[in-house]
Amino acid sequence: MSTEEELRAAIARQFGRSLHIRTLDTGSCAVCEQEIRLLAAPHYDLHRLGFFFTPAPRHADLLLVTGPMIRAFEVAARKTYDAMPGPKVVVAVGACALGGVYPADPFTHGTVDAVLPVDVWIPGCPPSPLALLHGLGVAVGRLAEKVRDIPFTAEDDTERVRGAS
Amino acid sequence: MTPLDLFYIAAGAWAAAAVAGLVTGRTTGGLRACCALSALGGAAAAGGGGWSLLYGDTSVVSAGAATLTGGPLQLQATSLAGVFAALLGVVAVAIACYAPRYHAPSAGTALYLAAYNVALLGCLAVLTAGGMVTFLIAWETMSLACYLLILRHPRDLAVARGAFWFLALSEAGFLLVVAAFVILSATTGFTTLSGIAAHAASVPGGWRAAAFLLAIVGFGFKAGLVPLHVWLPEAHPVAPADGSAFLSGVVVKLGVYGIALFAFRLAPPLGTWPGLVAMGAGAVTAAIGILYAMAERDIKRFLAYSTIENTGIIVTAFGAAMIFRASGQSALWALLLIAGIYHVANHGCYKTLLFLEAGVTEHATGTRDMDRLGGLVHRLPRSAVIAFAGTLGIAALPPLNGFVSEWLIFQGLFQGFRTGSHLTGILIVLAAGTLGLTGGLAIYAFVRGFGIPYLGMPRTRQAAEATEQGQPVLGPGLLAVACVALAVGAPVMLAALSRAARTVTGVTLGPLLLPGNLTVIPAHTDFAAFSPTYLTVFLVCALAVPLLIYLAGRPRAGTERVPVWDGGIVAFRPRMQYSAMTFSAPTRVTFDALYRPSVSVSRPSDDDPAGRSGPVHYAAQVTPVFQRYLYRPLVRGLEWLADLVRPVQSGDVNLYLLYVFAVILLAYLLGAV
Amino acid sequence: MTLWFVRGLRRGVVTTRYPARPEESARYLPTPPAFRPRALTAGTADRLAASCPSGALRRADDVLVFDVGRCTACGRCAAEAPHAVTTSGAFELAATSRSVLVKTIPLRGETG
């Protein structure tokens, strides 16, 4: 096993069955928070997978960050990250946190990566609870990454796939 | 040799100190000399007081030739007064160590020291008075000297007001005390206290009850029973710190001594209802005292109300003791008497300590307002530790002395069912419940009283720059040691007190109170037991356990140190902390029927409620219920009466000649008859 | 309370089985676009890049750079060039490195 695979195996062992998540809003519109909140609702129920929310960074294993990291929040974000004991995982959620929507300017960094070391990126605006579950599974090594193999091209131009927007 | 000889030494030392203070108080050396003499007197008084606990009552001694009153002074050292005298001595020593660093030598200080030592002398004379006239002379001496004490800065209007409240209520009380004494001496035919005590049983019950009621109101003015307490929060803040300490620590206790004197020596045997009156007054006083304390920002006013609360506790204990005596429970009678006197000693020590520390704080920071302080534990570390010892004591937390005496009082009250009467039992339980409420509120109040000024961050520049340089530490430190000694040495103290109680009650409580092995039981073995000494030892050892765990499991090398998780706050500011008033807000909201707060808000304009164009001023006041609804109407009534009588003094010389003629005629007629 | 309980029993378990089983309702989710390379001329690519409010689309020489991370699935690019853009239907988009989310889509060459 390569180092990376060893690391993934270790993370899966450590967190795969029981993970405590601390959410952090660095200036988002709170819709990502609503989707995250729905994870605890009966339909998606993250508890059945062994994931739990905790408000205390000292008890947290995973930091779930939304929002474009406004500069006013930088100190609090760093303090939250520093207060988490290792090993810890940082997951950036939503287009804002990934660098879209808001560019870097005097009031915001534009991307969470500018302040915290991100391990897993979850695109979406907002990402649905299913996407979040998939992302959390990738973070703990239970699920495989799929986006690497999606080309985002459609060869067949005769048929249109219907999708709700 | 009797304890009275030690008291003579003390009196002599204090008289010398008064003269020395008056003459040399303008110089530092004179100040020190006066305080040294005062300390000597204090040591002698403490020794005499402690000895008289064990010695019992001495005989009545006539001292001095014919005085202004036409007879010699009559002195007697009693064991009931022993603890009070010992407290007087200890407080005098502590204040003597404190005063040289607190006062700057000046003419005002010279006068102040003279008045203070005369007050000490007066207190000692009250405690050793063997006759009625001696007692009254000593009482007035003490009151007037205390008035001069409070009036250290006479040109300040607030000081003059506070001193005047003290004097007015003292005199009102004095009148009633004179009336009480006159009733007893007229009906028994004796003027010595032991004579009255010996013949009290022959006086009809109604007279004795009347005398006791007059005494409890009269002494209640000095002791601070509600609604007679009004002078305490007015006079204490304006007096110098050691003066306030002396007032709260000793003078108020003399009021309590007077009540005890009448209740247990001069007026008994009394029925149940005078005891119920005393107990009820005490319970109400305790609750109201601590409730008002919660609403105070000024440290000294806060401590003054706390004194009122503790007076209430002591008088409740004495009242219950009277009830138990009336129903024949002599063991419980002795227990509550002992517990009440023990609480007197305890409260005297820690209240004096807290007032002295309030003085240190005031000198170090320039303010008495809790909301301008904060973080003093870093700037004044030794004072903070000493103040903490006092706070633990007054909050009645184990293992300190307040806990022991309050535990005894509670245990005595809980055994109210032994009186045999359902109504009395229920009333005693109600009093115990009120004291329980008081105890809980006292802890809350003193967490606030210690936490807001000493802990947290400094709220103002003065608090941040306070320094302990030149502040007195020895005086309060001695009292802190006394508090610990009274706690750990509780069995010894209780043994001495039961010897003293024996002379008053005739009950030997020793074997019942202390079954030999440092354990205390409240009069009946089937009720409860507790050992203050073992508790202290246990608590100290219990602290060792977490210490050992820490030492054994200390993090090894390779640990990462990160700051404490504080919620991610960027910078802590002092204004993020509790203020004194917000900390007590739940109590003030719950009991707003008592406080009747009045709130005034002024905004820059009616169109701008949020205050964007200018500051919004908010002021909340507690209504002074007793001044407004009791004293002001009384004073108005008296003024109205005075107006009615004014025509008599018309200034007309002819009318005055008519008065003279009428009186001469009356004298002739009476002479003829 | 009882009524709620009884109704709940009648409805049965509504919790999704995802990720163990695929989720039925996933097909209704808004998803990032998929592009038809044969419909992507340079002009179309420029128009698409201009229409994206989030900066997810960018034309670089012969390729259209599509940053999936920045996409908000707003649909403006599909409205701008409907023949070139369709939905991808992909919602499991988590990535362990940021660069994996930046896709390059070749434009239609001059030869077509």
What are the sequence ranges of the domains in chain C?
A: 30-112
* Residue at C100: amino acid letter: V
Q: What percent of chain C has pLDDT over 70?
A: 96
Burial B29-58 (b: 16+ CB within 10 A, else e): ebbebbbbbbbbbbbbbbbbbbbbbebbbb
Q: What percent of chain C has pLDDT over 90?
A: 60
The average confidence (pLDDT) of chain B is 89
Q: How far apart are CA B440 and CA B155, in angstroms?
A: 40
Burial of B125 (0-12, 13-18, 19+ CB in 10 A): buried
- Which two three-digit tokens encode residue B653? 């010389």
- Which two three-digit tokens encode residue B328? 């024949």
Question: B230-234, B434-438, B548-552: which range is least confident on average?
Answer: B548-552
Asked whether residue A4 is assigned to any structural domain, the reply reads no
Structural domains in chain A (count) = 1
**Sign of the dihedral defined by the CA atoms of residues A62, A68, A71, A72, in that order:** negative
B291 to B99, B317, B445: CA distances (angstroms): 32, 20, 9
Phi-psi region of B66 (alpha: psi -120 to 50; beta: other; left: phi over 0): beta
Q: What is the predicted pLDDT for the residue at B95?
A: 94
Choose between B267 and A49: higher pLDDT.
Answer: A49
B164 to B39, B299, B631: CA distances (angstroms): 29, 21, 14
The residue-averaged pLDDT of B71-77 equals 77
Q: What percent of chain A has pLDDT over 90?
A: 72
- Of the CA atoms within 13 Å of residue B526, those in its CB half-sphere come to 2
pLDDT band at B200 (very low <50, low <70, confident <90, very high): confident
Strands C63-67 and C102-106: antiparallel
Q: What is the predicted pLDDT for the residue at A164?
A: 34
Cβ–Cβ contact B566 with A under 8 A: yes
Q: What percent of chain B has pLDDT over 90?
A: 52
**Sign of the dihedral defined by the CA atoms of residues A133, A134, A135, A136, in that order:** positive
Asked whether residue A149 is assigned to any structural domain, the reply reads no
Cβ–Cβ contact A55 with B under 8 A: no
Is residue B376 pLDDT above 90, yes or no?
yes
Asked whether residue A12 is assigned to any structural domain, the reply reads no
Give the closest-approach CA distance of A163 to chain B in angstroms.
Answer: 42
Is residue B270 pLDDT above 90, yes or no?
no
Spell out the domain ranges in chain B.
Answer: 271-550+577-603+615-623, 626-672
Q: Name residue A17's beta-bridge partners.
A: none
ipTM attached to this prediction: 0.88
Cβ of A100 within 8 Å of Cβ of C16? The answer is: no
Residue found by looking up tokens 């359902």 in the block: B422
Give the closest-approach CA distance of B345 to chain A in angstroms.
Answer: 49
Which residue in chain A has the smallest CA separation from C27?
A: A163
- Which two three-digit tokens encode residue A74? 């930088």
Cβ of B563 within 8 Å of Cβ of A82? The answer is: yes
Cβ of A80 within 8 Å of Cβ of B563? The answer is: no
Q: pLDDT tens digit string along C7-46? A: 988 888 889 988 888 988 899 999 999 999 888 898 999 9
Q: pLDDT tens digit string along C62-86? A: 899 999 999 999 999 999 999 999 9
User: Any idea which fold C30-112 has?
Assistant: Alpha-Beta Plaits (3.30.70)
The residue-averaged pLDDT of B331-357 equals 93
The answer to whether the beta carbons of residues B6 and B45 sit under 8 Å apart is yes
pLDDT band at B188 (very low <50, low <70, confident <90, very high): confident
Question: Chains B/C: 3 or more C-beta pairs closer than 8 A?
Answer: no
Cβ–Cβ contact C95 with A under 8 A: yes
pLDDT band at A163 (very low <50, low <70, confident <90, very high): very low
Which residues in chain A have their CB less than 8 angstroms from residue B572's CB? none
Is residue A158 pLDDT above 50, yes or no?
no
- Find the helix packing angle between B422-454 and B401-414, rounded to 10°: 160
Which residues in chain B have their CB less than 8 angstroms from residue A75's CB? 568, 570
Question: B264-273, B561-570, B603-612: which range is least confident on average?
Answer: B603-612
Residues 6+ away with beta carbon under 8 Å from B7:
B44, B45, B48, B75, B77, B85, B124, B128
Give the closest-approach CA distance of A71 to chain B in angstroms.
Answer: 12
Which residues in chain C have their CB less than 8 angstroms from residue A121's CB? 69, 94-98, 101
Cβ of A76 within 8 Å of Cβ of B570? The answer is: yes
The answer to whether the beta carbons of residues A113 and A141 sit under 8 Å apart is no
Which three-class secondary structure state does DSSP give residue C57?
strand
Q: What is the predicted pLDDT for the residue at B512?
A: 65
Which three-class secondary structure state does DSSP give residue C93?
coil
| DSSP label of B105 | P
Query: DSSP letter string over B395-464?
Result: TT-TTSHHHHHHHHHHHHHHGGGGGS-HHHHHHHHHHHHHHHHHHHHHHHHHHHHHHHHHSS--SSHHHH
Q: How far apart are CA A81 and CA B320, in angstroms?
A: 62
Is residue B385 pLDDT above 80, yes or no?
yes
Q: What percent of chain B has pLDDT over 70?
A: 96
In 10 A of CB B601, how many CB atoms? 11
Which chains contact A through at least 3 pairs of Cβ atoms less than 8 Å apart? B, C
Q: What is the predicted pLDDT for the residue at B277?
A: 94
Which residue, B123, B99, B86, B126, is CA-closest to B38?
B99
| Helical (H) or strand (E) element with C94 | none
Which chains contact B through at least 3 pairs of Cβ atoms less than 8 Å apart? A
The average confidence (pLDDT) of chain A is 88
pLDDT band at B117 (very low <50, low <70, confident <90, very high): very high
Q: How far apart are CA B444 and CA B39, in angstroms?
A: 35
Q: pLDDT tens digit string along B278-331? A: 999 999 999 999 999 999 999 999 999 999 999 999 999 999 999 998 888 888
Which residues in chain A have their CB less than 8 angstroms from residue C26's CB? 128, 130
Which residues in chain A have their CB less than 8 angstroms from residue B565's CB? 56-58, 79, 83
Cβ of A83 within 8 Å of Cβ of B570? The answer is: no
Cβ of A75 within 8 Å of Cβ of B568? The answer is: yes
Question: B54-68, B189-203, B306-320: which range is least confident on average?
Answer: B54-68
The residue-averaged pLDDT of A19-38 equals 95
Is residue B377 pLDDT above 70, yes or no?
yes
Q: What is the predicted pLDDT for the residue at B64?
A: 65
Q: How far apart are CA B118 and CA B614, in angstroms?
A: 55
pLDDT band at B164 (very low <50, low <70, confident <90, very high): very high
Which residue, B124, B132, B227, B235, is CA-closest to B177?
B132
Q: Please give the biggest Cα pair distance in chain A.
A: 55
**φ, ψ of residue B447 in degrees (nearest 5):** -60, -45
Cβ of A153 within 8 Å of Cβ of C89? The answer is: no
Q: What is the predicted pLDDT for the residue at C70?
A: 94
* Residue at A139: amino acid letter: A
- Find the helix packing angle between B205-223 and B252-260, rounded to 10°: 170
Question: B268-272, B345-349, C47-51: which range is least confident on average?
Answer: B268-272
Cβ–Cβ contact A56 with B under 8 A: yes
Q: What is the predicted pLDDT for the residue at B66?
A: 55
The answer to whether the beta carbons of residues B70 and B21 sit under 8 Å apart is no
Which residue in chain B has the smallest CA separation from A82?
A: B562
**φ, ψ of residue B460 in degrees (nearest 5):** -140, 170
Residues 6+ away with beta carbon under 8 Å from B233:
B292, B296, B301, B304, B305
Q: pLDDT tens digit string along B475-509? A: 899 999 999 888 888 888 888 888 888 877 777 77
Which three-class secondary structure state does DSSP give residue B106?
coil
Q: What is the predicted pLDDT for the residue at B462?
A: 87
Cα B8-B12-B18 angle, rounded to 5 deg: 145
Choose between B515 and C111: higher pLDDT.
Answer: B515
pTM for this structure? 0.82
Calculate the dihedral angle through the C-alpha atoms of B382, B388, B393, B399, rounding to the nearest 10 degrees: -90
Q: What is the predicted pLDDT for the residue at B169?
A: 95
Helices H / strands E in chain C, number of each = 3, 5
Q: What is the predicted pLDDT for the residue at B421?
A: 84
Q: How far apart are CA B466 and CA B382, in angstroms?
A: 13
* A33: containing domain: 18-144
Q: What is the predicted pLDDT for the residue at B317?
A: 96
Q: How far apart are CA C35 and CA B392, in angstroms?
A: 76
Residue to test with chain B: of A22, A54, A79, most B Cβ within 10 A: A79
Q: pLDDT tens digit string along B167-186? A: 999 999 999 999 999 999 89
The residue-averaged pLDDT of A32-39 equals 95
Cβ of B569 within 8 Å of Cβ of A76? The answer is: yes
The residue-averaged pLDDT of A119-142 equals 93
Q: What is the predicted pLDDT for the residue at B240?
A: 94
**Domain holding A118: CATH number?**
3.40.50.12280
Calculate the dihedral angle through the C-alpha atoms of B606, B607, B612, B617, rounding to the nearest 10 degrees: 10
Cβ of A76 within 8 Å of Cβ of B568? The answer is: yes
pLDDT band at B143 (very low <50, low <70, confident <90, very high): very high
Q: What is the predicted pLDDT for the residue at A159?
A: 45
Q: How far apart are CA B227 and CA B222, in angstroms?
A: 12
pLDDT band at B557 (very low <50, low <70, confident <90, very high): low
The residue-averaged pLDDT of B454-474 equals 89
